[in-house]
């Protein structure tokens, strides 16, 4: 079997999704499956097949696309600059992917709706398509739009041309896929809301390579935690959707009650400086350490006492699973796929989303209860070790490919 | 050696052909794309244009 794992996005900047793609590819290859990985390299403005070292520079077609699809001759096409930008980039991606070749695979596994739509547009003959929905594209663009227009609501956004455009990519890709892979019931619900039939879905949670995790965790982290302090940790991209600003606000309230803690944040993103400023403005600048991007999260987490995932929207963050494997009690926002990851008060806690006061109150309670933290952390670790095995994820995914090929055979 | 040709040679991919004689493209690359892309392949994507030209908003 020859499989193409393809994403429209930048492969190595996808955070947990890159981990997913890489682990899936490695394990499939170990089972004798031929796997190519295609994605974008933003720095070089090229689309590439990572394992084959083949690439196509978008510069070869970009000037032509931009000149021919210009605002004077196609005012409606360019009326929404974000949509036009996405479209132009997708067309360049399509040409690059076609040049590199996509027709010789037995199955194409798209990692996002943009790549799925692109693949179906360029295939010359029928090929079965499986699409993974790692996030909800239209909702994510809504959160981006909301940063410049705080009054905007999701229903209102989804009525705009931009909202309908992103929804249409989700709809089209779901319609064109034989089967759809999701990691959580929440992400499935965003698609069933779009009338995607139940029969297309296969739910396979994200997994972690547990032996590799343990090996990384065994490495000593470069700094000890300050004496007498407990560490509240977050790991992930520092972007609005991750809600780290909510955590910073909660810590500001917490500081008025107690100071036996520090917060360690590992990750980088476009909000790094804004978050530093917010922390300083709220008087917790000295209590939060921004570590930047770290290569070894399991080792970092060994020093943590509580893990917080304050995201505004998140499907099934790897960071939470990693924290659970570290034996940490986790607190997640009660939105999107996150509540599915914890059993409240048994393996973690769920707080109302975007509610800094609730988060602060829970942190205060947990910081003074060592026994509960230890008990919940141990239960979380046992649960993650039992339910997040990579072997099972890969075998189930391979089965989905076989099913999709069979479904495709019936269609021809 | 790269052989450059006028991009207007490839206007068949565009539903609204616009003359861009000042833009040149790599002949070998474009021929390979001509061979590899489906015959009905077109810019802009008609499904997107349907949304952008519809009455709502």
Note the pLDDT of residue A243.
97
Q: Rounded to two decimals, what is the model's pTM?
A: 0.87
Note the pLDDT of residue B55.
67
- β-strand pairing of A230-235 with A201-203: unpaired
Q: Calculate the average pLDDT of chain A.
A: 95
> How many separate helices (H) and strands (E) can be counted in chain A?
16, 14
Question: What is the spatial distance between Cα A406 and Cα A105, in angstroms, rounded to a whole number?
Answer: 15
* Two tokens, residue A395: 């075998």
Strand, coil or helix: what is A114?
Answer: helix
Please answer yes or no on whether B14 and A69 come within 8 Å at the CB atom.
Answer: yes
pLDDT at residue A15 is higher than 90? no
What is the average pLDDT across A64-74? 96
Burial class for A175, CB neighbours closer than 10 Å (0-12, 13-18, 19+): middle
Note the pLDDT of residue A277.
98
Question: What is the spatial distance between Cα A71 and Cα A67, in angstroms, rounded to a whole number?
Answer: 9
Nearest CA in chain B to A63: B23
Question: What is the spatial distance between Cα A139 and Cα A254, in angstroms, rounded to a whole number?
Answer: 31
B20, B22, B38 ranked by CB distance to A124: nearest: B38
What is the average pLDDT across B20-46? 96
What is the average pLDDT across A136-154? 90
Distance between alpha carbon A384 and the CA centroid of its chain, in Å?
18
Edge to edge, the sheet with strand A2-10 lists A54-57, A46-49, A34-41, A2-10, A107-110, A129-132, A179-182, A201-203
Tokens 């010359």 belong to residue: A124
Please answer yes or no on whether A168 and B51 come within 8 Å at the CB atom.
Answer: yes
Distance between alpha carbon A279 and the CA centroid of its chain, in Å?
25
Does A224 lie at the interface with B, CB-CB under 8 angstroms? no
CATH number of the A210-387 domain: 3.40.50.2000
Q: Counting one residue from A and one from B, how many pairs have CB atoms under 8 Å apart?
A: 92
* Total length of chain B: 57
Best mutation target among B11, B14, B33, B42 (most A Cβ atoms within 10 Å) is B33
Does A67 lie at the interface with B, CB-CB under 8 angstroms? yes
List CB contacts of A410: < 8 A, sequence separation 6 or more: none
Note the pLDDT of residue A144.
87
Furthest CA-CA distance within chain B? 50
- Chain A residue numbers with beta carbons less than 8 Å from the beta carbon of B52 are 76-77, 79-80, 83, 161, 165
Under the banding of pLDDT at 50, 70 and 90, the label for residue A57 is very high
Does A99 lie at the interface with B, CB-CB under 8 angstroms? yes
Under the banding of pLDDT at 50, 70 and 90, the label for residue A19 is confident
User: From the CB of residue A19, how many other CB atoms can be counted at a distance below 10 Å?
Assistant: 16
Note the pLDDT of residue B1.
77
pLDDT at residue A261 is higher than 60? yes
User: From the CB of residue A257, how many other CB atoms can be counted at a distance below 10 Å?
Assistant: 12
- Chain A residue numbers with beta carbons less than 8 Å from the beta carbon of B26 are 60
pLDDT at residue A358 is higher than 70? yes
Please answer yes or no on whether A95 and B26 come within 8 Å at the CB atom.
Answer: no
pLDDT digits (tens, 9 = 90+) for A320-341: 999 999 999 999 999 999 999 9
Burial class for A101, CB neighbours closer than 10 Å (0-12, 13-18, 19+): middle
Domain boundaries, chain A: 2-207+390-411, 210-387
Question: What is the spatial distance between Cα A324 and Cα A327, in angstroms, rounded to a whole number?
Answer: 5
Q: Do domains A2-207+390-411 and A210-387 have the same CATH topology?
A: yes
Q: How much of chain A exceeds pLDDT 70, in percent?
A: 99
Question: What is the spatial distance between Cα A186 and Cα A316, in angstroms, rounded to a whole number?
Answer: 9
- Chain A residue numbers with beta carbons less than 8 Å from the beta carbon of B25 are 60-61, 64
Instruction: Provide the shortest C-alpha distance from residue A385 to chain B (in Å).
Output: 44
Strand, coil or helix: what is A144?
Answer: helix
Note the pLDDT of residue A148.
87
Note the pLDDT of residue A409.
72
Question: What is the spatial distance between Cα A322 and Cα A210, in angstroms, rounded to a whole number?
Answer: 9
Does A76 lie at the interface with B, CB-CB under 8 angstroms? yes
- Chain B residue numbers with beta carbons less than 8 Å from the beta carbon of A73 are 16, 18
What is the average pLDDT across B7-17? 96
pLDDT at residue B57 is higher than 60? no
Please answer yes or no on whether A91 and B45 come within 8 Å at the CB atom.
Answer: yes
Nearest CA in chain A to B39: A124
A79, A98, A124 ranked by CB distance to B52: nearest: A79
pLDDT at residue A177 is higher than 90? yes
User: From the CB of residue A84, how many other CB atoms can be counted at a distance below 10 Å?
Assistant: 21
Note the pLDDT of residue A411.
61
- Chain A residue numbers with beta carbons less than 8 Å from the beta carbon of B28 are none
CATH topology for the A2-207+390-411 domain: Rossmann fold (3.40.50)
| Whole-number Cα distances in Å, A304 to A162, A233, A288, A349, B28 | 41, 6, 13, 16, 57
Distance between alpha carbon A365 and the CA centroid of its chain, in Å?
30
Question: What is the spatial distance between Cα A185 and Cα A206, in angstroms, rounded to a whole number?
Answer: 13
Closest CA to B33 of A94, A8, A88: A94
Closest CA to A359 of A243, A241, A247: A247
Closest CA to B23 of B1, B6, B37: B6
What is the average pLDDT across A11-32? 88
| Whole-number Cα distances in Å, B28 to A24, A363, A385, B1, B9 | 35, 62, 53, 10, 13
Note the pLDDT of residue A88.
97
pLDDT digits (tens, 9 = 90+) for A240-252: 999 999 999 999 9
pLDDT at residue A412 is higher than 60? no
Distance between alpha carbon A200 and the CA centroid of its chain, in Å?
21
């Amino acid at each position: 079997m020859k499989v193409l794992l393809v994403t429209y996005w930048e492969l190595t900047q996808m955070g947990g999704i890159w981990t997913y793609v890489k682990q899936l590819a490695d394990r499939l290859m170990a089972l004798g499956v031929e796997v190519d990985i295609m994605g974008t390299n933003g720095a070089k403005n090229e689309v590439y097949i990572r394992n084959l070292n083949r690439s196509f520079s978008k510069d070869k077609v970009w000037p032509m696309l931009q000149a021919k699809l210009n605002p004077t001759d196609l005012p409606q096409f360019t009326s929404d600059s974000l949509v036009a930008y996405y479209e132009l980039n997708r067309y360049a991606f399509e040409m690059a992917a076609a040049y590199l070749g996509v027709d010789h695979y037995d199955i194409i596994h798209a990692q996002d709706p943009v790549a799925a739509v692109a693949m179906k547009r360029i295939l010359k003959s029928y090929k079965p398509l499986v699409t993974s929905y790692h996030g909800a594209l239209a909702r994510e663009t809504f959160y981006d739009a909301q940063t410049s227009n705080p009054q905007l609501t999701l229903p209102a956004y989804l009525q705009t041309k931009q909202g309908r455009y992103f929804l249409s990519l989700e709809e089209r890709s779901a319609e064109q896929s034989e089967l759809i892979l999701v990691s959580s019931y929440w992400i499935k619900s965003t698609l069933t809301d779009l009338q995607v039939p139940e029969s297309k879905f296969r739910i396979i949670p994200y997994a972690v390579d547990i032996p590799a995790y343990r090996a990384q965790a065994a490495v000593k982290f470069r700094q000890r935690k300050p004496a007498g302090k407990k560490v509240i940790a977050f790991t992930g991209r520092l972007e609005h959707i991750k809600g780290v600003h909510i955590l910073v606000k909660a810590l500001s309230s917490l500081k008025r009650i107690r100071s036996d803690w520090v917060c360690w944040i590992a990750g980088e993103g476009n909000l790094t400086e804004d978050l530093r400023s917010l922390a300083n403005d709220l008087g917790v600048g000295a209590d939060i350490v921004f570590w930047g991007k770290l290569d070894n999260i399991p080792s970092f987490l060994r020093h943590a006492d509580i893990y917080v995932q304050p995201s505004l929207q998140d499907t099934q963050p790897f960071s939470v699973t990693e924290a659970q494997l570290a034996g940490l009690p986790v607190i997640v926002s009660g939105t999107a796929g996150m509540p599915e990851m914890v059993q409240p008060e048994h393996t973690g806690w769920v707080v109302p989303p975007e509610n800094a006061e609730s988060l602060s109150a829970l942190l205060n309670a947990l910081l003074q209860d060592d026994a509960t933290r230890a008990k919940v952390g141990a239960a979380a670790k046992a649960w993650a070790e039992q339910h997040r095995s990579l072997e099972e994820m890969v075998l189930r995914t391979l089965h989905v490919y076989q099913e999709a090929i069979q479904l495709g055979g019936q269609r021809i | 050696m790269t052989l450059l040709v006028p991009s207007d040679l490839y206007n068949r991919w565009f539903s609204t052909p616009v003359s861009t004689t000042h833009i040149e493209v790599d002949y070998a690359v474009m021929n390979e794309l001509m061979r590899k892309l489906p015959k009905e392949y077109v810019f802009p994507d008609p499904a997107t244009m349907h949304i952008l030209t519809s009455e709502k908003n």
